Amino acid sequence: MVGRLETGIDVLDRKLDGGLPPGCIVAYTADPASQSELLLYELTAARGTLYLTTERSDDAVRHAIDASPSAVGNPTVRHVTGDEPLEEATRLIGALPDGANLIVDTMDALERTDTDAYVDFLNDLKTQMLETGSIAVLHCLKGAGEPDNRTQTYHAADAVFDLRTATAGTELENHLTIPKFRGGGQPTEAIKLELVEEVAIDTSRDIA
C-alpha cells in the first residue's frame, strides 16, 4: 500500500499490505520469558532507530543487538533512568529525526507513573510520530503485576501486536496476532513465527 513504511520483516510487511502507516504507534505485547526482543532488534534494520531501554543498561542492549544473528541496524540506544522517566523519554523523543523508528523497551517504568501525566505523554508521542512520519513500537510485558496504565497504552496504540509462546510436543511455537489495527487491512489469522536466528514465518504447517 502506497505511503506505508516497511518494518523490514518480510512476513509482517506482507500481512500488513506493505508495512505500517507513518505516525503509527504499536503496542507489542509478549511474555517476559519469550524471545520477543529479537523482533525489536530486527526492526532496527529498516531505518534509523532510537532505542529507549528502561530496564537493561544501554551497553547490555547494544551487546544483544550486535550479537543478534539476524540483520540489524545501528540504532541510537539510550537508557531512561531517574525519578522522572516520562520527562526524560519526552526529551529524547523530541530529537527524533523524520521517518525514523522509536522503540521503547519496556513500557513498564513509564506506565507506572501518574495516569494524567502518562496520558499526556501518549498524546505528545502521537503528535511527534505524526509530525516526523515515524513509527513507535512500545514493548509491553504481559503477566502478573502489569502496570495500571497498560489500558491507556492499548487505547492510545494504533495497532496491537500480541506474541504468544507455547510448547507443542517438544517444540516451542510462537504466534503473532494483531487484534487491533487502525491502519486497515488487519490480518485475521495468527502468524506463526520462528524466533531463533531471525524473525521468519514458520511454513512447517498450518500456514498458507
Q: By mean pLDDT, which of 56-70, 122-136, 159-173 is the weakest?
A: 159-173
Q: Which residue type occupies 82?
A: G
Helix axes 115-132, 85-93, angle to 10 degrees: 10
Backbone φ and ψ of 129, nearest 5°:
-65, -40
Under the banding of pLDDT at 50, 70 and 90, the label for residue 183 is confident
Q: What is the pTM of this model?
A: 0.91
pLDDT at 7: 93
Taking the C-alpha atoms of residue 28 and residue 40, their distance in angstroms, rounded to an integer, is 9
Kindly report, residue by residue over 87-144, the tens digit of the pLDDT: 999 999 999 999 999 999 999 999 999 999 999 999 999 999 999 999 999 999 998 8
Note the pLDDT of residue 207.
45
> Could you tell me the domains of the chain?
24-162 (3.40.50.300)
Q: Do the Cβ atoms of 128 and 120 come closer than 8 Å?
A: no
